Amino acid sequence: MIDEILYSGEIPLWDVTIRLAAAALGGMLLGLDRELRGRATGLRTHGMVSLSSCVITISAFLVYEQAIATGDQVTVDPLRAIQGLAQAIGFIAAGAIFVSKGDVRNLTSAANLWLAAAFGIALGAGQYTLAAVAVVFGVIMMSVVRIVELKLHLKHPRDQD
């Protein structure tokens, strides 16, 4: 009874809860490298981007399902919400990039924010495997690849990325 009052979607409440929790935790995991390197976009920023992306995606699908349930002609398209979300994340990521005297900073942080959003979108759509594989590859790229770059002297330890 209380579940019906608090939540009335086609996606079970337990599934929504798992998606949201995974989005927040996975987003923070993606932001861990940025946090450890003292970048402006760290744990909270990545966690919030991922969580909010998941919320918007779930909401878009629930609105779509509600529109179908009414039996009227469906004019709601959940993919438009995802498209708008991708554009919004582009603005947020662009705001993280800093250019001064030809030196570009925080490009990696911006790309990582983009991945955090994509991760949240995938979870919001219930694509757990895709989301898990994406976060694993993201963590590998942010940590293991950095170590390889340093070992091969491709980057200086203090390079701004």
Instruction: Give the tens place of pLDDT for each residue, 54-77.
Output: 999 999 999 888 888 887 777 878
Report CA-CA distances (Å) from 141 to 15, 18, 63, 83, 149.
29, 25, 36, 25, 11
For the full predicted model, state whether its pTM sits above 0.95.
no
Question: If you average pLDDT over every residue of the chain, what do you get?
Answer: 89
